[in-house]
Amino acid sequence: MDTRDIIDCLDFTLLDHEASEDELISFCTQANSANPAAICVFSEHLEIVRKHLNEEISVAVVAGGFPVGSSSPEEIGIAVRTAVESGADEVDVVLEPRDSEDFPDEGDLKKLIAMREAAGEAVLKVIIEAPLLAEREMRSVARMALAAGADFIKTCTGKRGSCSDEAADIFAYEIMRHELTFKEKRGVKLSGGIRTKEDVERLTELVNARDDSIIASSRFRIGASSLLNELI
């Protein structure tokens, strides 16, 4: 991937509850200059960034608790619905992992259904927190999230570990598997500790090795806050 290809897949991120209006405006100015796929902010910053962001750039909002996701399907639904009604094009939501042999279970499915129903027509990206999970759990949660209607499965928040090569490979496989099984094209978002072009190239090679149609068909995102500065 060349620099432009990477930026076209980038969710340029500023997740800081204390960010000032000047910092948010500067963030939007940088986004407007680079034209990434989307920006990603907290819901309380949505109104400000909408005023200063080019219309063609999508706005993704983190809702339902970050980096620790809500345990209540009702709370998740309200947070996601509020974000969408406030103008979010996309919503990133943590499915909080549990240290239990029954994870994921019916209660986790209820959270995923609440996310999907509340998001409506907005793009739903489910954050799975892969650094906290074993392979079996990663695969189980990915399959459950995709079955519940997630548009993207996202590797992690980056606050409790970084995106590993293993997670990128597993998520790409599960996207391919879901398409073969259900004829539904879904996407993958790699996020967490991705700071250099070399990081992107290594991870995208793993995705392409599983299914080279994912990146080529706008079903691939990279979540990062500092990568854009490295690229430009």
Instruction: Dump pLDDT digits (tens) for 5-31.
Output: 999 999 999 999 999 999 999 999 999
Q: Write down the domain spans for the chain.
A: 3-231
Residue 12, helix vs strand vs coil:
strand
Q: What is the pLDDT of residues 42-76, one digit of tens each?
A: 999 999 999 999 999 999 999 999 999 999 999 99
% of residues, the chain, pLDDT over 70: 100
Q: CA of 128: how far to CAs of 35, 154, 201, 232, in Å?
A: 27, 6, 22, 30
Selected catalytic residue, list 11, 108, 111, 154: 154
Structure tokens at 50: 């909408």
Q: Please give the CATH number for the structural domain made up of 3-231.
A: 3.20.20.70
The answer to whether 108 is a known catalytic residue is: no
Among 92, 151, 199, 211, which one carries the catalytic annotation? 92
| Residue among 125, 189, 199, 211 flagged as catalytic | 189
How many CB atoms neighbour CB 163 within 10 A? 25
What's the pLDDT score for residue 217? Answer: 86
Tell me whether residue 92 is one of the annotated catalytic residues. yes
**DSSP secondary structure string for all residues of 133-196:** S-HHHHHHHHHHHHHHT-SEEE---SSS-PPPHHHHHHHHHHHHHHHHHH----EEEEESS--S
What is the predicted pLDDT for the residue at 13? 98
Distance between CA 197 and CA 54 in Å, rounded? 25
Other CB atoms within a 10 A radius of the CB of residue 122 amount to 21
pLDDT beneath 70: ranges in the chain: none
pLDDT at residue number 232: 87
Reduced to 3 states, what is the DSSP secondary structure of residue 90?
strand
